[in-house]
Chains A and B, each alone.
Chain A
Amino acid sequence: MTITGLPAIPNLECRILSLGGDRALAHRLAQMGLLPDTAITITRVGPLGDPLALGVGGGQQVILRGSEARQVQCHVTALPLSAARRDQQTTYRIRGPRGRAAGFGKLAARGLERGALFELLSEKPCTVQLLFNDVTITLRRGEAEHLMVEPCEVPADSV
C-alpha cells in the first residue's frame, strides 16, 4: 500500500519510497540518513496531530512537521487495524497484538492467528467489521487499536 504523506497514525510502520519534491527537505533528510528504503515507525503524534516523531531504528527518533511529512512518499508495511481503511486496501494479514497481548487470545480462538488473511468489510466510529473464513467478525475499536495488520496486495479469495 503506497501513500503520499506520512499519516498521523501512531505505530504505523512504513518504508520510505521517495523524499518528495522539496529539495531542501529531501537534502536534509538524506544527510541525516533518512533515505529511500529506510524503514520507519511513526512513534508519536503531537497534541494537534502535528508534528510526527519517527522511530528510525536503534531507539533513535526524528521529529518531522506535518507540512514536511506530507512530501514523503512511503510504502505502508503495518498499521493498527483501527487505522485501516477499506477504500485504501481491502485485504490485510494479521501480524499480531501490539503491547499487551490481552484480548488476542479471544481472536486466536476464532482462528484469527498470526499470518491469517482477512477482508476488511467496514470501519465505523466504534467498531471494525471484517470477513474471515466467510464469517463476519466485529471488533471494538479498542481491540482493533491493539491489533497490528499488514496491508496485503493479494485478494483474499485467491488464497
Chain B
Amino acid sequence: MSDITIAIIAAPNVGKTTLFNRLTGAHQTVGNWGGVTIEKRSGRFRLEDFNATLVDLPGTYSVSPTSAEEHVVQGYLQETPPELLLTVVDAGNLYRGLGLVLQLAHMGLPIVVAVNMMDEARRQGMDIDFTTLQEHLGVPVVPIVATTGEGVAQLQATMAQTLRGELPQHPPRLSLPAVLEEAITDIARQVGELEGGCGLDGNLIATRLLESDQSSQNLLKSHPQLKVVAEKAACYRQEVEERLGTDVSTACAQCRFNAARGLLAETTRQEAELPSGLSERLDSVLLHRWLGLPMFFLIMFLLFQAVFLLAAPLQGWLGDGFAWLQGHVESWAVAWQFPAALSDFLVHGLIEGVGVVMSFFPVIALFFIFISLIEDTGYIARAAFLMDRVMHLVRLDGKAFVSLLFGYGCNVPAIMGTRILSSRHNRVLTMLLVPFSVCSARLQVFLFLATVLFAPSVAPWVVFGMYVVSFALIFLVGLVMRPFRFGSEPEPFVMELPPFRPPAFGITLHRAWREVRDFLKQAATLIVLGVTAVWALTHLPTDVPPGSIETWAGQLGSSLSPIFEPLGIHWQETVALMFGLVAKEVLLGALAILYGGEAGLEGALAAGVTPLEGLSFMVFALVYTPCVATLAVIRNESRSWRVTLLSVALGLSLGWVASFMVYQGGLLLGFH
C-alpha cells in the first residue's frame, strides 16, 4: 500500500469537477492555494493497491501562465510534481483539449487522458478512433461519461497500470520552427552541463525559460541555480521572437494546435455536415438581438417566482419546527429551574434568532440549486453574453450580472454564486456590490414601512424608489471602484459559449446540497455569535426591560445619536437597526417591541416617525450591512476578513451618506 498524489487538470467546462466528485465521493477537503485565494480542493480514494490523493487543479487552458489560475497550476506542477496527471478533455472539442494534452505530455510526468462527454459526441455522430489516438499521442486515452460513470472503472484501472509503470509514455515530438528548436536544444545542453542538475527534463526547462519572462521567474524561484542559463535564454527569446515575428509561447501554441489538428484529422470522423441542432435553434431565440434580453428577464422572473413558491411551505415547516423546539426548551428550563436570563437567552435569543436566520435556508438552498442547474445548461454564459456590454462599464463581465440579479432574491446564494466568475477581482467586487440589492427580506421591511408611513397612492412609488436607489448605488459603487484591483490583474474577457446541455439533475442537486450544507457548517459559528451578540446588547443588564434605553443597546443607541440625529433616525430605530443585523425582518419585530404600546406598531410608528424620517430610515436599512448570514458567506467565499470588513465599512458609511442626503435634502426642500 503506497501513498501517491494524482493531479486532475482540464480546461474549464469539460466536466472535471464531476469526474473529481465521482472518483473521490464525499472524502474531500477544501483549502486555499498558498499565497492566493483560489480554492484548493483535494480528495482521497483507493486506487487498487494505492492510497491516492486527488488534487483538483483550477481550470486552465494551458500551463503557460497568463491568469492567476494558470500561475497556480504551473507553480504546483513545478514545486510538488504529482505521481500522475489525469487530464480531462471534452470529446466534442478534442482540438482544444489535445492542445492542452500535448503541452502536459511534455512535462515528463506520467499522464492519463480521459475523453469525457462521449455520450454527447456519439449523439452528434462523432466517431473517434481511440486505438489510433492513443498510439499517436503515446499516452493512455480512456473514453468516459463522467455524469453516468461510464468508463470510469476502466479509467481507474488505466491509472493504476500507469502508476505501476506498465503502460508506455512516449509523447510525440512536436515539430518546431528551426530557430526555436535550435534555441531549445542549446539551452537544454547548458542545463545538462550544470553542476548537480535539477531533476527536471532539460527540454522542458528550456521551453519554460524561453517562453516568457514570467514563466522564467517562476522557475528561478524554485531552481535558483538556473540563473545563468535564464539570462542566456532571455537573449535567445529576443532573437527567436524577432525571427518568427511572434512571441515564443504563441509559436509553441501554434505548433501544438497544428499537431492537434493533424491528430484529429487522422482519428475522428464527423458524419457529414451537422444539421442545425437544438442548441442553435434555442440560441436563435435566447440570444436574439432584440428578444434575448426580454427572454432573459422573463426566465429570471419565472425562476424567482418558482423559488418563492416552493420555499414558502418549507419555511412554514421550519418555523413550526423552531416554535416546537422553543416551547420544549422553555418547559425544560422551567423544570430544571434555569436562571431566568439563561432561559430567556436560550429561548428568545438563541433559538429564535437562529430560527429566523434558518427560515431563509429553503430560499438559499433553492436559489443555489437553481443557479447550479442553469449554470449546467449553459444559460449563464448566454446571460453573460447579453449583459456584458452594460457590466463592462463597471469593469465586470456579464456573468457578474447574474450574481447581482440573484441578490434581489437573497444575498447569500448570490454571493455563493460568485465562484463561477472568472477572476478574483470580479468575484470580490461582485461580493461587495451584492449587499446593496433589495433582497426579499428588505422588501418586506420596505413594504410594511411604506404602507404605514405613506399615503396609499405614494407608498408603491416609495418601494419602487428603493429599487432605483439600489440600482443606482450598485452602479455608482461599481464606477467608484473602477480603479481598484482586488487580488488579480484584469484578464482579457474571452469566454466559451458551451452548447446547451440538459443538466444532470441528480448530480447537480447533490452538489448544490453539499455546497449549501458546507455553507451552513462554516457559517454556523458566525451566525450563532451574531445572534448572541444582538441578544446580549438588547437584553443586558437583566434588570431593565429588553430593548429599552437602559439596555446596552439603548445606551449605545443614545450615545450614537449624534451620528444618527442628522439622519432623522431616533435611538429606537438605531437599536432596531442593530437587531436587523440578525436578519432584516427582525427589524420589524424590534420596532414593535421598541415602539409597542396600546396603539400597536402601526399607530406608534405613524405618530412617532415623520415620512421623511421614515424614508431616511428605509434608505439606511437598504444600504447598511445586510445580515450575519451574508457576512458569513462573504467571509467563506472571499476567504478574507479584510474583504468582509470592507463590506461592513462600505455598507455603514454609504448608508450614512445616502440617508444624510435624503434627510437633509428633504428638509431643505421643505419636507418633514
Contact = CB atoms under 8 A, between A and B. Distances in A.
A47 B386 CA distance: 6
A26 B96 contact: no
B277 A59 contact: yes
A76 interface: no
Most chain B beta-carbon contacts within 10 A, residue among A33, A51, A63, A64: A33
A19 B495 contact: no
B287 interface: yes
Contacts of B497: 53, 61-63
A44 B386 CA distance: 10
Interface in B482-514: 491-497, 499
A86 to B, nearest CB: 25
Nearest to B97: A33
A: contact size bracket: 35 or more
Interface in B240-257: 246-247, 249-250, 253-254, 257
A59 B247 contact: no
Contacts of B493: 51, 63-65, 68
A47 B61 CA distance: 28
Contact of B499 (A19, A45, A59, A68): A59
Contacts of A65: 388, 392, 492-493
A31 B279 contact: no
A134 to B, nearest CB: 37
Nearest to A60: B93
Contacts of A19: 250
A29 B96 CA distance: 11
A157 interface: no
A63 B381 contact: yes
A62 B494 contact: yes
B293 interface: yes
Contacts of A159: none
B274 A27 contact: no
Interface residues of B, number: 47
A59 B274 contact: yes
Given A31-B64, A33-B99, A47 B250 contact: no
Nearest to B279: A59
Most chain B beta-carbon contacts within 10 A, residue among A26, A32, A50: A32
Contacts of B578: none
B492 A51 contact: no
Given A50-B388, A63-B385, A44 B287 contact: yes
A51 B250 CA distance: 24
Contact of A33 (B96, B247, B287, B491): B96
B384 interface: yes
A114 interface: no
A102 interface: no
Interface in B272-320: 274, 277, 279-280, 283, 287, 289-290, 292-293
Interface in A42-74: 44-51, 53, 57-68
A27 B384 contact: no
Nearest to B93: A60
B492 A25 contact: yes
Given A27-B64, A47-B289, A59-B499, A33 B388 contact: no
Contacts of A35: 250, 253-254, 257
A97 to B, nearest CB: 15
B389 A51 contact: yes
Interface of B: 61-62, 64, 66-67, 92-93, 95-96, 99, 124, 246-247, 249-250, 253-254, 257, 260, 270, 274, 277, 279-280, 283, 287, 289-290, 292-293, 381, 384-386, 388-390, 392, 398, 491-497, 499
Interface of A: 19, 22-33, 35-36, 44-51, 53, 57-68
27 contacts: A27-B247, A28-B491, A28-B492, A28-B494, A29-B492, A31-B62, A31-B64, A31-B66, A33-B253, A33-B257, A44-B283, A45-B289, A47-B289, A47-B386, A50-B388, A50-B389, A51-B388, A51-B398, A59-B499, A62-B494, A62-B495, A64-B493, A64-B494, A65-B388, A65-B392, A66-B389, A68-B493
4 tightest A-B CB contacts, nearest first: A61-B497, A31-B62, A30-B253, A25-B492
Given A58-B92, A62-B495, 6 more contacts: A28-B492, A35-B257, A47-B292, A48-B389, A53-B287, A63-B497
